[in-house]
Structure 1
Amino acid sequence: MTEHEEQDGVGVHDALQRLWTPHRLSYVRGEGKADGDQPEGCPFCRAPGLSDEKALILARGATVFALLNLYPYNPGHLMVLPYRHVPDYTDLDPAETVEFAEFTQKAMRVIRAVASPHGFNIGMNQGVVAGAGIAAHLHQHVVPRWGGDANFMPVIGHTKVLPQLLGETHALLSEAWRA
């Protein structure tokens, strides 16, 4: 085998450890991602019709609801959404705007009570060019942050290590939300 073949060869030992995450491949490929442009294809419109456990819904209000992000940045990463299929924050009516803000505040209180984060990232990506995965249905992210939670894994390994399963996070936060 030549030196060039050894460098490019399959199975050549390179001293790197591998963390395989094949369950993420469907997300990377966009498989099963519904067309959120229309309410009938929008996963956020379908979620309220499912059980709270199946949809990862933490709480339901009159005009908005909160659910865990299926692909979280950190444990406890949740979203606040209106039931209505609207794309922009300015599309909310006054009652939705108030409940949207109240749910965001409650989400922060609940996450603080359960997980003691050091801070939060809170935000909305308005439009595809701004990073919204499902731009047609408004959603606000509430992401708990801890000192040191951004380490080499996502930067170098393009892998996020989450120490808690979504079902466990759902149980903790939904119980605390009701308390």
Structure 2
Amino acid sequence: MLAGVPDGFERLWTPHRMAYIGGENKPSDDQAGPGCPFCRVEHGSDEDGLVVARGTLAFVVLNLYPYNSGHLLVCPYRHVADYTDLTPDEAVEVAELTRTAMRVLRAVSAPHGFNLGMNQGEVAGAGIAAHLHQHVVPRWAGDSNFLPVVGRSRALPELLADTRARLAAAWPAADQA
């Protein structure tokens, strides 16, 4: 059976989700550097890391396990877990990158709304609790159909690399943000 092809029971297979479920790329609480997927982004290429834009203290990256197409994460470069531990300058840049992400997503994908948020701590739902990240999730009327409810799957109409390329191309230059 091919991945993503319904079988005789009308199942939709999403084997890529097993990496997330199994905790792949999930660092321990204090594991900065190569053990943290957000810390690794700083040193790789934008295309390989799915980075859409880089600031001085923070960056914007596509979520590898998105809730919707265009689901972005705004992360400080510094490996810090708690929002209250951000420096004032980091907090401002995370906020500004979040605002720009919303503008770019509106221009590129015309969402009807957004979910914004940070899950602080594993018990609060943070998949990677050790490195703070702000979710920017574009939403469209009717984007939650039977798949996430019944099939516990989400159908995404575009490959992550293609979404990254479209958003990065639309991101304003640093002096225009």
TM-score higher than 0.5: yes
Alignment of 1:155-166 (within 5 A): 155-166=149-160
* SS in structure 2 at match of 1:49: coil
8 Å CA contact 2:63, 2:73 repeated in 1: yes
Aligned residues between the structures: 166
Q: 1:146 aligns with which of 140, 143, 160?
A: 140
Q: What is the aligned partner in structure 2 of residue 7 from structure 1?
A: none
> Shift in Å at residue 36 of structure 1?
5.4
Q: What is the aligned partner in structure 2 of residue 17 from structure 1?
A: 10
Q: What is the aligned partner in structure 1 of residue 94 from structure 2?
A: 100
Which structure has more helix as a fraction of its residues? 1
How much identity, in percent, do the aligned residues show? 65
Rounded to whole Å, the distance in 1 between the matches of 2:13 and 2:97 is 36
Q: What is the aligned partner in structure 2 of residue 119 from structure 1?
A: 113
Rounded to whole Å, the distance in 2 between the matches of 1:65 and 1:48 is 9
Q: What is the aligned partner in structure 2 of residue 133 from structure 1?
A: 127
Rounded to whole Å, the distance in 2 between the matches of 1:177 and 1:123 is 21
Structure 2's unaligned 5+ residue stretches are 1-7
Q: 1:89 aligns with which of 80, 83, 87?
A: 83
> Max radius of gyration: which structure?
1
> Shift in Å at residue 98 of structure 1?
1.0
Rounded to whole Å, the distance in 1 between the matches of 2:97 and 2:49 is 17
Q: What is the aligned partner in structure 1 of residue 3 from structure 2?
A: none
* TM-score for both structures, normalised by structure 2: 0.89
Is 2:53 aligned against 1:65? no
Rounded to whole Å, the distance in 2 between the matches of 1:66 and 1:32 is 18
Rounded to whole Å, the distance in 2 between the matches of 1:29 and 1:39 is 20
8 Å CA contact 1:36, 1:43 repeated in 2: no
Q: 2:171 aligns with which of 160, 163, 177?
A: 177
Rounded to whole Å, the distance in 2 between the matches of 1:121 and 1:23 is 24
* TM-score for both structures, normalised by structure 1: 0.88
